[in-house]
Structure 1
Amino acid sequence: MCGIAGFITSNPNENSIGKLKKMTDVIAHRGPDGEGHWISENGKVGLGHRRLSIIDLSQEANQPMHYMDRYSIVFNGEIYNFVELRENLQKDGYQFHTHSDTEVLMAMYDKYKADALKYLDGMFAFVLYDKKENTAFCVRDRFGEKPFFYNYKKGEYFSFGSEMKCLWAGGTPKVVNNRMLFNYLSFGYLDNPNDLSETFYENCTRLHHSHYILVNIDKLEIQIHKYYDIEWQHINHQITIEQAKEKFHELFYTSVSRRLRSDVPVGSSLSGGLDSSLVVSVVDKLKEGTSQKQSTFSAVFPGFKKDERKFMDYVIEKTNVSPNFITPSDEGLIEDIESLSFHQEEPYGSASIYAQYCVMKLAKQNNVTVLLDGQGADEILAGYHFYYNSFFNELKNTNQTEYQKQLEIYKNLHQSNSINGITKKTLGDRVRAISPSLVKPIKGLRNQIKQLTNPVFNSDFYNTYSKDVFETKGNTFSTLNESLYNSTYRSGSIQQLLRYADRNSMAHSREVRLPFLSHELVEFLFTLPAHYKIHDGWTKWIMRETFDILPEQIRWRKDKIGYEPPQKSWMENPLIIQKIKTGRNKLVENNILNKKILQRDVKAEEACMIDDNSWGHLLSDYLL
């Protein structure tokens, strides 16, 4: 994993090694092991790279890398199946001078062009310059594990980077996108669900996951293409549960095995939930009979109701691991929030992100460069409890008898669940069920009433942006698979989590790998009927049934906790309260919030609660 940046221009005088170095210096954290800069013979293409050495640690694998006296590339990510791809390419006569996946990637492009992407099992963002065609091929992976931002002016320039700060260092003005800011402060939106390319800053566009850009360098024109989607409507109703379990087992073990390929130490994050516990357990199984001991890294919160230490211990007792723990605190958040926000670049939902940041710091302290993690499982296997709504919607429309039976079982199972409880539809969900077109005007009306009776925003700011309210589909999907597809691919839900993971890991020069996001595994799980994912009240039922290597206490956990810290008590810290007030002051000074907000008390909020939006005011100090 690395950091990339570059500049493509119609005017060669605009390109320089100095400019490229500025763009890569600001992401040195992404690649502390080396740097490289290169400008094409015609002077129009500049590529910059910061290297975190993972595969082939030799100097020959440095980037920008060149191949066949035709291709030049800067690449961030990993191609996990590069060994198999390389073997096939060698049979076709391709020769290689390194042992890196980067060289394999260029050979794949030479053979297949854009179709090469369908053969890749990996996470990636790269720019590949083709000297013969005078084009640049800019790609982001299927689900958005690796970031890619760009700024483009037709006929003049195309600049890009792994982080937005690359663009700012290259001359793009840093200007807040007030439309995004309004929706964030009003409703907590971290993305525009209808356009995931929009960011919190003007002139900084996010390349949509599963898309590529082809830059015609002669004309400085771009074409954007989607190369991948999930066929969520194609359900295999003939597959038996035993067949499904066998295939799941095979695909997951293959995915984990490939993601262990590394020339540096590999460990795992362990939260105590189903997903990370399964990753740790499978890695342990794959290492049986070897002298290798897996290191695990966890955040714990002693005395907090949602602390998951006991579940971590169940896994530790059953596996041969070397556990490491860290206890994030309010004092630590105060000390680190500026750095955390610098790396995240855009707002984040809660202090849970800080817990992950601390886990990555712990891995660095223990010299483990690569961590496997369980992200993605909730979105493809219906792990969140709000998925019950779409599951029961589907069942109600297809089998009334089974619907009544499953609903009763579900209620009996979860009536004593003190963490999640029985899932209830929100007011927004009920309105959507009646008429989806009513949701946006009702949200706008509620906001308007609030603004009139107890104004939050500066009146000019409110009048300018109040008609630009974003809309989502909520939990009113008629089938479970559509709801899962919305979270995995369409709405940006998982993309937010992937952004947190990328920035938190790279802040400490660590790499995160996610076995559940093997596209072959994702595609298979989407073919399974809904009752294989939720059954007899259990989420992730097929996973629980398949993997008996999990400790039983975790395998049949009813509650769902998302690495949640004691945010409410943290926000009662006087220094954090003062930081929130500072954020409010800045928002007032920038004519965003009404000055009356300065007279209101700060309310401590649980993670992901935005009733008072004190958390949003806290982050705004670092956004503006």
Structure 2
Amino acid sequence: MCGIAGILTEAAAAEAEGHLRDLQVMTKSLAHRGPDGEAWWVDPSKRVFFGHRRLSVIDLSPAAAQPMQYSERYTITYNGELYNYIELREALLKKGYRFRTESDTEVILAAYQEYGKSCVEQFTGMFALAIWDADQAELFLARDRMGEKPLFFTWHQGRLLFASEMKAFWALGLPRQPDPHQVLLYLGAGITGIPLKPVQSFYTGIFQLPPAHTARYAYGSGTWGELELTRYWDLTGRVTSVEGHPNAATEQVERFRALLKASVQRRLRSDLQVGSSLSGGIDSSSIAALVKELGVENWTGFSAVFPGFERDESAAIQLLAKELNIQSITCSPTETTLLTDLEKLLYHQEMPIESASALVQYKVLQRAAEQGITVLLDGQGADELLAGYPSYIPWFLQEIWRSGRYASFLKELNAFKAHGWTGGWGWKNRLAAWFPQAAQEQLIKKQAAAIQRIPFAEQAYIAASLRPHDLFKPFVTSLQDILYYDLTMGRLPELLRYADRNSMAFGREIRLPFLDPALLEFAYSLPASAKMQNGYTKWILRTAMSGHLPQPIAWQKKKIGYEPPQESWLQQAAVQEEVLQSARVLVDEGILQKRYLDRPKTGKAAAGAADWRLLVMGKLLAV
């Protein structure tokens, strides 16, 4: 993992020194992403400037440093890991290619020469990269399928700038102007992003290359100020049926387990020690169990625990560590942690965070850095891929109801209730099942209403900033529909941002086995019954790991995962004072009414979400 940056000028620069100095300022701002070295490259035309901050993980030698050149034609600056680089390297060797390093970077360059822009379809990994083709005078940008690695760009004063993080642009003095619509979206609904405009970032004038996209700019095309974007992959598999195939369900479980194990094995490729996040849930526990099954010794798991908190996972973590003989290293963030580390966290995140869980992950990764573990496996993506959140249960039940399988519906409804689900089922769910478009429209109206009801918001700010046409909720007729939304537009992109920035804050690398393309495509195509069954979420994962994990972990009924006592923290006097300070910033920005500052303190936990959002947004705007 690394930090990358680049500058393209509209015309050849008479003097390259100024652009090179700016590039060095950009890479310096990304030093945390690559603590092992930095380098820069200037094309002889003096129009193209690449910078790189290196985190050495595979081939630690100086020969693997970037920016790297290949075949006297291509130059790359690249952030990420290619997990199948060994297999690709062998295939390219058979085609006559030769390599001078053992790095995945050189494999990418050779693959680009062999396959052109379609090379990304060959890659299994996480990446954001830029390749300059000197012969064609063309820039090629690419980002991995799910967007694990970020890539931002902007056009400014006759230059195209790109970087791993937006702070590289701000380091040059570019304006930092949050999109007012997204400010409202966060304060009202706790989310950011515009699903139907994935190129737009949280900040006006700064853009992002969407996941599973490539971009191209060719000098002489007459399109300065525009990038030609192309989507190269999508989750489009149809749901497979098991009806009439008595062994299909068993075969699906076996294939799922084989794909997950292979994914874990590939993500163990590293020249440095590897560990994992360990929350006590089935996702991270499954990864740890498969690691041990693959024969890895001296495994370390990093966790957050909250003694005395009702949702503390200490017992599950201890049970798993004992069962698998894992060294367990924990941290215990408190409200003091929130006070001391929130600003540092937001500096790295650059955007709002939904809850204090992001802070907990930040501290877990800090703990890993203190122990000298550079690479960590993590279970992110499993909940969105395999329907792990309780909020998916109504959508699953609606799919069954919509199909007319009422006996199956009652069986599953009662099973979920028996396992403690309290979500309820009523006439609104039946209407949503029968009239999905009306349900979609109602959810969009609900989101708009939440924004209109932001406590003490200035109505003039809402009127000037809210863009109703940018509000979006998915059209859902099946469980797969809502999972697609959360995998590609909703929950997961935000969680991947947390993971990237939190890991890079300490020069660590997070690898996500559940996001392997082969596993993604297979699991996405599975029927809803493979994901939810007999009152359990993530059915296929539980079944696949049932004989390999302690039963209380494999078949646990609650969903937690790094959840801190956020409401309790927010009620502390020192934290409330910080909320008030943030509110003053929002008042000064014309977002909140001044009378908010004189409101009586309720001390109620119900105000927790609103207080959290004020706290975070005020800290971001105060920078």
TM-score tier after normalising by the smaller chain length: over 0.9
- Cα deviation, residue 443, structure 1: 4.8
Q: Distance in 2 between matches of 1:370 and 1:215?
A: 34
Q: Give the 5 Å matches for 1:547-586.
A: 547=545, 548-586=547-585
Q: Distance in 1 between matches of 2:132 and 2:34?
A: 21
Kept in 1: contact 2:253–2:540 (CA 8 A): yes
- Cα deviation, residue 410, structure 1: 2.1
Q: Could you say what the CA RMSD is over the residues aligned between the two structures, in angstroms?
A: 2.3
Q: Distance in 2 between matches of 1:11 and 1:214?
A: 17
Q: Give the 5 Å matches for 1:568-607.
A: 568-601=567-600
1:421 aligned partner, one-letter code:
T
1:616 corresponds to 2:606: no
* Larger mean Cα displacement after TM superposition, 550-559 or 144-153: 144-153
* Larger mean Cα displacement after TM superposition, 246-255 or 370-379: 246-255
- Cα deviation, residue 611, structure 1: 6.8
1:10 aligned partner, one-letter code:
E
1:456 aligned partner, one-letter code:
F
Distance 1:363 1:103, change over 3 A: same
Kept in 2: contact 1:602–1:614 (CA 8 A): no
1:260 to 261, 264, 268: 268
The equivalent residue for 2:461 is 461
Q: Distance in 2 between matches of 1:234 and 1:71?
A: 41
1:314 aligned partner, one-letter code:
L
1:296 to 289, 301, 304: 301
Distance 1:34 1:196, change over 3 A: same
1:276 to 284, 289, 294: 284
The equivalent residue for 1:64 is 67
The equivalent residue for 1:126 is 129
1:616 aligned partner, one-letter code:
R
Q: Distance in 1 between matches of 2:289 and 2:362?
A: 23
The equivalent residue for 1:182 is 184
2:5 aligned partner, one-letter code:
A
Residue by residue, what CA displacement relative to the aligned partner does 1:353-384 show, whole Å, maximum 9, x if unpaired? 11100100000010000000000001111111
Q: Distance in 1 between matches of 2:531 and 2:587?
A: 48
Q: Distance in 2 between matches of 1:409 and 1:279?
A: 31
The equivalent residue for 1:109 is 112
1:298 aligned partner, one-letter code:
S
The equivalent residue for 1:24 is 27
2:141 aligned partner, one-letter code:
C
The equivalent residue for 1:201 is 203
Residue by residue, what CA displacement relative to the aligned partner does 1:391-430 show, whole Å, maximum 9, x if unpaired? 222212324244334334424422xx2xx53355897996
The equivalent residue for 1:51 is 54
TM-score (norm 1): 0.93
- Cα deviation, residue 485, structure 1: 1.1
- Cα deviation, residue 172, structure 1: 2.5
Q: Distance in 1 between matches of 2:346 and 2:604?
A: 19
* Larger mean Cα displacement after TM superposition, 189-198 or 375-384: 189-198
1:358 corresponds to 2:357: no
Residue by residue, what CA displacement relative to the aligned partner does 1:473-510 show, whole Å, maximum 9, x if unpaired? 36x72111112111112x23100000001111111110
Kept in 2: contact 1:388–1:423 (CA 8 A): no
Kept in 1: contact 2:416–2:534 (CA 8 A): no
Aligned residue pair count: 608
List, as ranges, runs of 4+ consecutive aligned residues in structure 1 with deviation greater than 6 Å: 425-432
Q: Distance in 2 between matches of 1:423 and 1:319?
A: 38
The equivalent residue for 1:157 is 159
1:9 aligned partner, one-letter code:
T
The equivalent residue for 2:526 is 528
Distance 1:423 1:168, change over 3 A: farther
- Cα deviation, residue 610, structure 1: 6.9
The equivalent residue for 2:5 is 5
Kept in 2: contact 1:232–1:485 (CA 8 A): no
Distance 1:312 1:93, change over 3 A: same
- Cα deviation, residue 274, structure 1: 0.6
Kept in 2: contact 1:179–1:465 (CA 8 A): yes
Residue by residue, what CA displacement relative to the aligned partner does 1:81-138 show, whole Å, maximum 9, x if unpaired? 1001001100111010110000000000100011111111100000011111111111
Q: Distance in 1 between matches of 2:59 and 2:443?
A: 53
1:270 aligned partner, one-letter code:
L
1:437 aligned partner, one-letter code:
E
1:250 corresponds to 2:258: yes
* Larger mean Cα displacement after TM superposition, 197-206 or 124-133: 197-206
Q: Distance in 2 between matches of 1:556 and 1:485?
A: 25
* Larger mean Cα displacement after TM superposition, 522-531 or 212-221: 212-221
- Cα deviation, residue 61, structure 1: 0.7
Kept in 2: contact 1:236–1:527 (CA 8 A): no
Q: Distance in 1 between matches of 2:509 and 2:54?
A: 12
Residue by residue, what CA displacement relative to the aligned partner does 1:545-569 show, whole Å, maximum 9, x if unpaired? 1112111110110111131101111
Q: Distance in 2 between matches of 1:29 and 1:377?
A: 28
State the secondary structure of the residue aligned to 2:227. strand
Distance 1:542 1:321, change over 3 A: same
State the secondary structure of the residue aligned to 1:613. helix
- Cα deviation, residue 592, structure 1: 1.5
Kept in 1: contact 2:397–2:413 (CA 8 A): no
Q: Distance in 1 between matches of 2:473 and 2:615?
A: 28
State the secondary structure of the residue aligned to 2:45. coil
1:147 aligned partner, one-letter code:
P
* Larger mean Cα displacement after TM superposition, 405-414 or 521-530: 405-414
Residue by residue, what CA displacement relative to the aligned partner does 1:17-39 show, whole Å, maximum 9, x if unpaired? 21111001111000000001111
Kept in 1: contact 2:397–2:409 (CA 8 A): no
Kept in 2: contact 1:196–1:492 (CA 8 A): no
The equivalent residue for 1:421 is 422
Q: Distance in 2 between matches of 1:423 and 1:96?
A: 60
Residue by residue, what CA displacement relative to the aligned partner does 1:531-552 show, whole Å, maximum 9, x if unpaired? 1111111111111111121111
The equivalent residue for 1:472 is 472
Distance 1:596 1:211, change over 3 A: same
State the secondary structure of the residue aligned to 1:16. helix
1:346 to 343, 351, 363: 351
- Cα deviation, residue 602, structure 1: 5.3
* Larger mean Cα displacement after TM superposition, 168-177 or 118-127: 168-177
Kept in 1: contact 2:448–2:471 (CA 8 A): no
Distance 1:595 1:33, change over 3 A: same
Distance 1:605 1:45, change over 3 A: farther
Q: Distance in 2 between matches of 1:9 and 1:426?
A: 59
* Larger mean Cα displacement after TM superposition, 372-381 or 457-466: 457-466
List gaps (5 residues or longer) in structure 1: none
Distance 1:460 1:81, change over 3 A: same
Distance 1:603 1:136, change over 3 A: farther
- Cα deviation, residue 346, structure 1: 0.1
* Larger mean Cα displacement after TM superposition, 566-575 or 358-367: 566-575
1:546 aligned partner, one-letter code:
A
Distance 1:132 1:387, change over 3 A: same
1:144 corresponds to 2:147: yes
List gaps (5 residues or longer) in structure 2: none
Q: Distance in 2 between matches of 1:193 and 1:425?
A: 29
Q: Distance in 1 between matches of 2:362 and 2:491?
A: 19
Kept in 2: contact 1:389–1:425 (CA 8 A): no
Q: Distance in 1 between matches of 2:284 and 2:427?
A: 30
